[in-house]
Amino acid sequence: MNNGIVYLVGAGPGDPSLITLRGVECLKKAEVVIYDYLANEQLLSHAPESAVRIYAGKIGGRHNQGQDEINNLLVEKGRAGKVVVRLKGGDPFVFGRGGEECEALREAGIPFEVVPGVTAAVGASAYSGIPLTHRDITASVAFVTGQEGKGKNESNIDWDRLSLGGGTVVFYMGITTLRHNMQRMIEHGRSPETPVALVRWATTDCQQVLVGTLADIADRADESGFKPPAITIVGEVVSLREKLKWFDKRSLCGKKIVVTRAAEQAGEFSAKLATRGATVLECPTIRLVEPESWQLLDLAIRELSGYDWLVLTSGNAVRYFFQRLDMLGLDARALGSCRICAVGPKTADEIRSHGIKPDLVPNDYKAEGVIDEFSRLDMHNNRVLFPRADKARDIIPRELKRMGAHVDSPVAYRNIFPDRLPPETLFALEKRSVDCITFTSSSTVQNLAAMLGEELLHDMLKGVAVASIGPITSKSCRDLGLRVDIEPKSHTLDALAEALEAHFG
């Protein structure tokens, strides 16, 4: 059997978006992924579902597999003809023992490729606001292991040069030996007042930064219970942190927020929260699917030019309507003189993407606002097409009919339960590590209650702030016995994100 190939891929310092494009390419074709404790598990989603995933990191602070065992595993899988990704935290060749693994593969005749990653020192530097070099402060930086091999009688570290050189020094894996390392630097001539920063879980939502000096940082770490994994940065550049820090100044930094929108819709809102520093857990409680029959909508579309108004109340309605229009071999010209009402600015933007400018965009995005706008027009004998979700409120067609309009309201899409809720979200709720849950429609909260049961819903949301996009959704929350903590004045995703900022800020 032909040998496979092993890719040693740097997973980066923790933030899953910091992996390289080449790293993702390798993961996408992996048959086996062997990953470390410091490699973000979210990166495993890039690998095919069929790929075998093997954890080779630490369990309970101890190595799950020794280095020799990992080397043998890489050789075994390579000889079996597998495409193997060895996913390593940071960079494989910077305190990652990637060199040892490559030596084992070379001796066994297994082809390999090394894919660099953002090393922990660089990630910690950038995300803590501490430049490792600065033209006015230092032009050199040294990366040093904080823990030399056990059983060594003499240190391989040149403490004199390290201490007297004046450059930035970064210790990897040095929290358990912090006091010893800081004392050695002082003993070899570095000023006790030299600034020091410890950066724990750099680039992740759990990032912590502790600042002190060579003389007192160990005491500060003991007092605060500062634990590994962390990077230690020593040098005058640390003094720039107060001026340059950005990551931990974001309004939602450190907050874990659950987004319950449908999977195909969640990305936009999740991105708004992530850019504000939140850790987002997507928990779709809705799955959007086609109607059981297209018959009524197709019939309406074929007579589209005979309608006076087309009312679209969401981006979903726009997408499903125009997809069906295209499936029938038609385009926007089929509208003829039919005018369009768009409910909300996002819906209006979706319509404009099809080259059509809406004729009416109510200021109030609720159904009541739509009715108020139409009440100012003569709707007698007007034909109105209202493509809707299967569980949409009936207030718009009902009230338009009272005004004398003829309304057709075929189902354009259905909201159904997803197959299951994401286990990582349920686990976070059970651990009481979630700060807020967001609901962007009545269906999102009603479906979650139906899937969990009301008793479990109330138990899991104890101490969790509930954010609702508007009064209709808020009423659904309260009907289920939930207290609504956050509701924006304007019922949009942007306004909801701003309301979350204000609440947690």
Residue 381 in this model has a pLDDT that exceeds 90: yes
Same domain, yes or no: 281 and 240? no
- Report strand pairing: 32-35 vs 52-55: parallel
The total of structural domains in the chain comes to 4
CA 477 to each of CA 68, 307, 444, 455: distance values in angstroms, whole numbers, following the listed order: 55, 37, 10, 14
Q: What letters, b where the CB count within 10 A reaches 16 and e where it falls short, cover 211-247?
A: bbbbeebbebbeeeebeebbbbbbbbbbebbeeeeeb
Check which CATH number belongs to the domain holding 12 and give it. 3.40.1010.10
* Res 369: pLDDT: 87
Same domain, yes or no: 404 and 354? yes
Least confident of 112-126, 399-413, 414-428, 470-484: 414-428
Last residue of a domain, one of 372, 394, 415: 415
Same domain, yes or no: 132 and 244? yes
Q: Select from 260, 303, 319 the least CA-distant residue to 464.
A: 260
For a pLDDT cut of 70, what percent of the chain falls above it?
Answer: 97
Mean pLDDT of 267-295: 89
Check which CATH number belongs to the domain holding 206 and give it. 3.30.950.10
Same domain, yes or no: 129 and 239? yes
Domain that holds residue 233: 122-248
Amino acid at position 363, single letter: N
Strand ranges, E, within 159-206: 168-172, 195-200
Same domain, yes or no: 423 and 275? yes
pLDDT band at 471 (very low <50, low <70, confident <90, very high): very high
Same domain, yes or no: 88 and 204? no
Strand ranges, E, within 11-166: 32-35, 52-55, 58-59, 62-63, 83-88, 112-115, 141-145
- Which residues belong to the active site? 36, 58, 173
Give per-residue pLDDT as tens, 384-423: 999 999 888 889 999 999 999 999 999 999 988 888 888 8
What dihedral angle (degrees, nearest 10) is formed by the CA atoms of 77, 80, 83, 85?
Answer: 0
Give per-residue pLDDT as tens, 335-357: 999 999 999 888 999 999 999 99
Same domain, yes or no: 172 and 206? yes
Mean pLDDT of 349-373: 91
Same domain, yes or no: 371 and 392? yes
Q: Determine if the pTM surpasses 0.85.
A: no
* Res 151: pLDDT: 56
Residue 203 in this model has a pLDDT that exceeds 60: yes
* Res 481: pLDDT: 95
Same domain, yes or no: 439 and 499? yes
Last residue of a domain, one of 415, 435, 454: 415
Least confident of 252-266, 272-286, 444-458: 252-266
Mean pLDDT of the chain: 92
Give per-residue pLDDT as tens, 55-71: 987 654 555 678 999 99
Strand ranges, E, within 122-222: 141-145, 168-172, 195-200, 208-213
Check which CATH number belongs to the domain holding 389 and give it. 3.40.50.10090
H or E element, residue 300: helix 295-302
Same domain, yes or no: 190 and 150? yes
pLDDT band at 265 (very low <50, low <70, confident <90, very high): confident
Strand ranges, E, within 283-342: 287-289, 309-312, 339-342
Same domain, yes or no: 216 and 356? no
Measured distance CA(430)–CA(231) in Å, rounded: 31
Residue 477 in this model has a pLDDT that exceeds 80: yes
Same domain, yes or no: 426 and 308? no
Measured distance CA(24)–CA(92) in Å, rounded: 15
Measured distance CA(271)–CA(267) in Å, rounded: 6
Last residue of a domain, one of 118, 133, 167: 118
